Amino acid sequence: MADSTARATIHAGGDWLAAVSGATREIIDPADGLPFTVVAEGDEKDADAAVAAARRAFDSGDWPRTPVAERAALLRRVAGLLVRDREELGLLESRDAGKTVAEGRVDIDCVADAFRYFADLVAAEGAGRVVDAGSADVHSVVVSEPVGVCALITPWNYPLLQASWKIAPALAAGNTFVVKPSELTPLTTVALIGLLAEAGLPAGVANLVTGPGHTVGARLAEHPDVDLVSFTGGLVSGTKVAKAAAPTVKKVALELGGKNPNVVFADACATQEGFDTAVDQALNAAFMHSGQVCSAGARLIVEEPLRERFVAELARRAARIRLGRGTADGVECGPLVSEQQRAKVEAYVASALAEGAVLRAGGKRPEPSADRPATGYFYEPTVLDQCHRGMRVVREEVFGPVLTVETFRTEDEAVALANDTEYGLAGAVWSTDAGKARRVAGRLRHGTVWINDYHPYLPQAEWGGFGRSGTGRELGPAGLAEYRETKHVYQNLAPRPVRWFAG
């Protein structure tokens, strides 16, 4: 995004605009703490204008009535443009969010996959579900229709990926939308809106407002002309969104994070290969994108006889993870997204140590280097041993590179520990006993459970959580259904008087 157009990042009705107030925000590179571009800082007035454009496009425009095949074709064109711009977008995601370029590229691949999946899903659907009314004189069918104007509020950790999980099904279903990316990481979402226009999406269907949650996000959630709000972010903000949306009784979907268990049975590590794999995956589970992942395996729950050997190797390898600027060669883990986020992580580690946790690795800011400026928001991958559920660091979502270790002795105890959380987004079970692994997976109250793996997801499989991890689902057929209303059309083919009333 060129500096000359950096302030015109609000998109409403097909036009790129500055904020009504003229306010702007500097976007900070978390690797060095320095600004590298400027975007518009919208507020309630900008949100109102964007919603009005989306409302007009839905009520009077062609998109909701565009044939499904044409909508699917546009989504596939968007996927092709994402592939074309993969390197540029991956680099932008790295610089904006702090992740490595390699992670950024994978994110763009996954975004393209989401657009292709929802294109294929709607293209393969029938015209509706015929309902047998018990009479040849009645034609009865249940059809799906777009819900209307959608407000899509996305987080800072996976900016474009999380936006795509909302935008792709919203468009596939025939909706119009206003998207509000995180004010910290808006750049790739701005770029995606440009790609949608390039692919031929009519003006007014896709609208974007850059700005903070307490103004733009709050207004979108409460707006009477918004029919659905989909929010991904923290629990506190999510409950505010739900409260704001309640008076207008709009549809609400919330993905609010997790405190995810990674359960390792000793039999999974009976061989050296099994041991190495489980340790490696525990590192991936906890420290990918510096732990700033809603499904991060931040709670290692390991069988007691295995604990010392497993934790010792885990700590040794965690200490060797190379931290640095995500664009530098050989860097394995980038910075946290902001100074505020790092301060939050530091406070959780301090509280854990005060409550009796044992520090096995990390627990501090790294020494500066050429790839790791002192002004960047870096924090070492941290392993905290001898933890228990009484600790805040075990109960609450840290959203940083912090792994806590708990132990169990029986299968029942493992399940109880894994489920002892107010969240229920994801978790994993490691065991060579297939029956036990499936049995434990079946007992876990989490929306995604991996067996002998961690982190993979499929666009055709639903994503979402139990408990305070949220409501609704993204991806899969249920992810598309979130953006639809169902309608029953009952046609009497041979109407005649009922004669209920004699006169």
Burial of 340 (0-12, 13-18, 19+ CB in 10 A): exposed
Assigned token pair, 7: 């302030």
Q: Could you confirm whether 333 is annotated as catalytic?
A: no
Rounded to an integer, what is the distance from CA 290 to the centroid of its chain? 16
- Please enumerate in sequence order all residues whose Cβ is within 8 A of that of 20, keeping only pairs 6 or more positions apart, or say none: 42, 43, 45, 46, 49
Q: Is 41 helix (H, G, I), strand (E, B) or coil?
A: coil
CB-count exposure of residue 473 (10 Å: 0-12, 13-18, 19+): buried
Considering only the C-alpha atoms of the chain, give the largest distance between any 2 of them, rounded to a whole number of Å. Answer: 93
* 3-class DSSP state of 355: coil
Confirm if 189 and 163 have CB atoms less than 8 A apart: yes
Q: Is 294 a catalytic residue?
A: yes
Q: Beta 470-471 vs 448-451: how paired, if at all?
A: unpaired
Nearest to 255 by CA among 425, 122, 411: 425
422: left (phi over 0), alpha (psi -120 to 50) or beta: alpha
**From the candidates 269, 294, 333, 387, which is the catalytic residue?**
294
410: tokens are: 């029986």
The residue whose two tokens read 């990918």 is 288
DSSP states along 135-155: -TTEEEEEEEEE--EEEEE--
Amino acid at 169: P
The C-alpha torsion from 118 through 121 and 127 to 130, rounded to 10°, is: -120
Among 255, 346, 397, 482, the one annotated catalytic: 255
> Which stretch of DSSP H or E encloses residue 489?
strand 484-492
DSSP string, 59-95: HHSSGGGS-HHHHHHHHHHHHHHHHHTHHHHHHHHHH
Return the active site residues. 255, 294
